[in-house]
Amino acid sequence: MSETPAPLAVETARQPPQGKLPVLALSALGIVFGDIGTSPLYTFKTILGTAEASPDASVVLGALSLVLWTLFIITTVKYVSFAMSVDNDGEGGILALMALLGVKKQHRPTIVAFGLFGAALIYGDGAITPAISVLSALEGINMATPALQPCVVPAAVAILVALFAIQSRGTASIGHWFGPVMLVWFLAMAAMGISGIVQHPSVFAALNPAYGLSYLLSHGATGFLVLGAVFLCVTGAEALYADMGHFGRGPIKLAWFAVVFPSLILNYAGQAALVLEGAPTDGNIFFRLCPAVLLIPLIVLATVATIIASQSIITGAFSMTRQAIQLGWLPRLSIKQTSSEGYGQIYVGAVNWLLMIVTVGLTIGFGKSDNLAAAYGIAVSLTMLMTSALLFIAMREIWGWSPLAAGSVAGCFLVVDSAFFLANLTKIAEGGYVPLILAVLVYSVMWIWHRGSAAVAERIHEALIPVPEFMAKIAARNMPRVPGTAVFPTRTDRDTPPVMVWHVKHNRALHEHLFVLRVDTLSVPWVASRNRIAITEVAPNFWRAEAHFGFMERPHIPELLAASKALGCTIDLDDVTYYVGHETVIGREDGKGLPAWQEQFFAVMERNAVHISDFFNLPTDQVVEIGRQIAI
């Protein structure tokens, strides 16, 4: 008896987010747009600080023109219009895009390298974003009460520690407030921008891209360096793509065009108008737009907005970690579901505390948002460059575009991204090395884990015994067959699983019903229940099953067994014992294995990974663990 769905025809199990479009768009404001929505706190002041000490009208209008057209080209055109149209069953982000391009079905090391290093860079960005955002908001205190300036860094550290400390409790209880709070934030930014524009309406001349191009061409090296600061206005654009699966394309587009994009344009234009009217450029230009009587409330609102932005970054890091684990690029980590209302409400302790240590360290080490701005941008610009390269491949292979059409569109993105990346490279000595070091560390962990896992799988397959041969030996030796069902999770897709062989060798008995299960994570986020499991009876009362899960799902083996019985598998669900292997990795003595340092590093990760029984949700009182050594 066999039911084998075609792997390429696997259907999605995930329904699009339900609800009215405006309601979903409001929710998206709190999850998707926090990073890009708080960038006006520090972007324009950083640009003018990089440009000149006393900028004239050509500098101010040139800088504003560059900001407005960067927002349009990168965010509106590249991400909202193009990238969000290349989704992996509704999911976005560089890992989902990498999986969509078929890296599991064919050997594509360049695409894998781009995807993984891009994802690793996002972790670096995730550590810097909370630090620079919260510091920028609290630095408004300097304008309200200069005497409190020494309190800015301690207050930022306290807020960040508290933010990371509450992650394990989830944000479901307060998450419904994120959208309305961010709506108030965007409306406040728009109102402040309008108040500045009224003072100098001619600022909208910057809509003409000639002002930006003229500034770049006439200011030599300084003009090029300013691009690194201009890029700060789109550092949250990658989040639009990565968070697409939470709400769908429609709500994110509505929120962007109806609220976020207009508010950003108005606020940046208002800051530029204020400078043109002669306002000093020292301190934070953003807070100068605010009337003195409303400054303290604005500081509070800005702090709350940056906390929400930081929360979104942390949640995104958790989701990306789960994707990487399911795709086989990170060791199994403990993942806690913090809410039954949404699958995205999860907590990954190891990632949370590591991010907190790095974020707090950056806050204390750099001390000011101006200093952190030097470290910010290089990670995101390189990620965007890699996303553009993958988009070119997607245009060719998924949309079927001609090389000329795909090259023309993606080429424009690559030129713009390359310019920003090269400008950000000049920040390396000033702190840009921080996200690069973090990315290299994360990428190394991913690469070594995947290499070690592949070496283990290869060694296991070297000693497989065909099922008929194994069952013949059982019969020839009159091996006792005890009542009940034995379930053997395995990595192998054929023959007798090694755990079963070792079980018989040591216990000299075998259960009456045998169920071998291999779990395969596909390159799609979700799998429909009808395609979940395929079962074959390879010998009397010996069943082999292959279960399919998406990279956004977590396997639940007891539920799979119930489904398998419904498909005709004669197993006794009331008397099930799970046999799992506990692998101890050692180095090979023949010199053909992994380098010693890689083997040792992988062995450490393997020992500290979440146990397979926990990862598969196996009942602990029904699990038998069998130890084994594997030389890689």
* Tens digits of residue pLDDT in 375-394: 788 888 888 898 999 999 99
Beta bridge partners of residue 481, listed in sequence order: 510
Reference 122, options 436, 369, 336, 334; nearest CA is 436
Least confident stretch, 6-10, 133-137, 151-155, 550-554: 6-10
- The burial class, CB within 10 Å (0-12 / 13-18 / 19+), for 451 is middle
pLDDT for the residue numbered 10: 44
More confident residue, 112 or 275: 275
Partnered with residue 543 across adjacent β-strands are 515, 537
3-state secondary structure of 381: helix
Q: Are 474 and 510 in contact (CB under 8 A)?
A: yes
User: pLDDT tens-digit profile of 248-272?
Assistant: 888 899 999 999 999 999 999 999 9
Sequence-distant (≥ 6) Cβ neighbours of residue 415 within 8 angstroms: none
Tell me the pLDDT tens digit for each residue of 405-443: 999 999 999 999 999 999 988 888 888 888 889 889 999
Return the higher-pLDDT residue of 8 and 65.
Answer: 65
pLDDT at position 20 is 80
pLDDT of residue 109: 81
Q: What is the average pLDDT across 135-146?
A: 84
Q: What is the pLDDT of residue 7?
A: 36
CB 514 within 8 A of CB 488: yes
CB distance 125 to 379 below 8 Å: yes
**Structure token digits, residue 392:** 């070119």
Q: Which CATH superfamily is domain 22-451 in?
A: Amino acid/polyamine transporter I (1.20.1740.10)
H/E run at residue 335? strand 335-337
When mean pLDDT is compared over 6-15, 321-330, 416-425, the highest value belongs to: 416-425
DSSP bridge partners of 546: 518, 534
pLDDT tens string 467-481: 889 999 888 888 888
Structure tokens at 241: 């793509």
pLDDT, position 565 = 76
Judge whether residue 588 has pLDDT over 90. no
Among 210-224, 522-536, 601-615, name the one with the lowest average pLDDT.
522-536
Average pLDDT over residues 603-609: 89
| DSSP letter for each residue of 11-62 | PP-PPPPPS-HHHHHHHHHHHTSHHHHTGGGTHHHHHHHHH-SS--HHHHHH
Residue 75 has pLDDT above 80, yes or no: yes
- The answer to whether residue 360 scores a pLDDT higher than 90 is yes
Residue 528 has pLDDT above 90, yes or no: no
**pLDDT averaged over every residue in the chain:** 86
Q: Specify the pLDDT at position 53.
A: 60
In percent, the amount of the chain with pLDDT more than 90 equals 34
Name the amino acid, one letter, at 602.
F
* Cα(17)–Cα(249) distance, integer angstroms: 10
Closest CA to 376 of 290, 438, 314: 438
Q: Encoding tokens for residue 93?
A: 């982000």
- The tokens describing 321, both together, are 């970690």
* pLDDT band for position 2 (cuts 50, 70, 90): very low
Distance from C-alpha of 47 to C-alpha of 50, rounded to nearest angstrom: 5
Q: Which runs of consecutive H residues, i.e. helices, occur in 139-171?
A: 141-144, 152-165
Is the pLDDT score of 314 beyond 90? no
> Distances from the Cα of 553 to the Cαs of 242, 375, 589, 617, in angstroms?
17, 35, 38, 13
pLDDT band at 52 (very low <50, low <70, confident <90, very high): low
What is the per-residue pLDDT across 172-230, written as a single tens digit (0 to 9) for each? Answer: 666 778 889 999 999 999 999 999 999 999 999 999 999 999 998 888 888 888 998 99
Top pLDDT among 582 and 447 is at 447
Taking residues 290-304, report their average pLDDT.
92
pLDDT the model gives residue 6: 35
Boundaries of every domain in the chain: 22-451, 464-631
